[in-house]
């Protein structure tokens, strides 16, 4: 379905539209670049009260990188701070070309660029909260308060990857009492095999799949 919303109180959150997640990148989503035209079109329409873009912004040797561990390989799962942690190829290293916002989109309309995942010991999928840290909590990124200060009550979420960072951002939005729509066609997964489970989790959380 298509979302119905009041632009002044609605934010667009574009999650991690970075070259490392595009075909040819360090951690590619199949057809990841297929969302860029639609995102660029949305930004040019200036329909939203606020636009946020996020960037994965990892230091070298991040705890989510398989290369951080002896004998570990990308896409294995380990226990990190008492929670399952997927291990990834090195990606979106701070200051690298792969960590930039993809230059095929005009990012001029963006009001906030939020960088996440900079703690070397904690991964960060959601735009709203870091993953679990050593103390068992998920620290806030500050985005929820920033949006509320601007009168935002609803968020529309798109970007990469559908089954991780975009999903977690939408789930956290609802947990933090925002209305949320998931712009499915403007997302791509790490694994298409996760799509059915992603849909179930969105529906269970009451998130509109738009």
Q: Which residues are catalytic?
A: 16, 116, 165
Q: How many CB atoms lie within 10 A of CB 112?
A: 17
Dist CA 152 CA 8 (whole Å): 7
Contact between 166 and 13 under an 8 Å Cβ cutoff? The reply is no
Dist CA 44 CA 132 (whole Å): 36
Q: Is 160 helix (H, G, I), strand (E, B) or coil?
A: strand
Q: Give the DSSP H or E segment for 172.
A: helix 167-175
> Which is nearest to 158 in space by CA: 35, 49, 73, 61?
35
């Amino acid at each position: 379905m298509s979302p119905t919303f009041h632009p002044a109180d609605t934010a667009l959150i574009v999650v991690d539209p970075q070259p490392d997640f595009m075909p040819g990148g360090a951690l590619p989503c199949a057809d990841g670049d297929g969302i860029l035209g639609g995102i660029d079109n949305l930004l040019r329409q200036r329909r939203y009260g606020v636009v946020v873009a996020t960037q994965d912004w990892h230091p070298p040797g991040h705890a989510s990188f398989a290369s951080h561990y002896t004998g570990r390989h990308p896409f294995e799962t380990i226990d990190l701070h008492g929670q399952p942690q997927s291990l990834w190829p090195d990606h979106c290293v701070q200051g690298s070309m792969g960590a930039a916002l993809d230059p095929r989109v005009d990012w001029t309309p963006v009001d906030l660029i939020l960088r996440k995942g900079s703690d070397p010991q904690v991964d960060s999928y959601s735009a709203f909260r870091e993953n679990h840290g050593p103390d068992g909590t998920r620290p806030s990124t500050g985005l929820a308060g920033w949006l509320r200060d601007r009168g935002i009550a609803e968020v529309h979420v798109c970007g990469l990857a559908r089954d991780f960072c975009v999903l977690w951002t939408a789930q956290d939005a609802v947990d933090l009492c925002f209305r949320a729509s998931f712009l499915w066609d403007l997302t791509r997964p790490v694994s298409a095999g996760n799509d059915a489970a992603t849909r179930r989790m969105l529906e269970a959380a009451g998130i509109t799949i738009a």
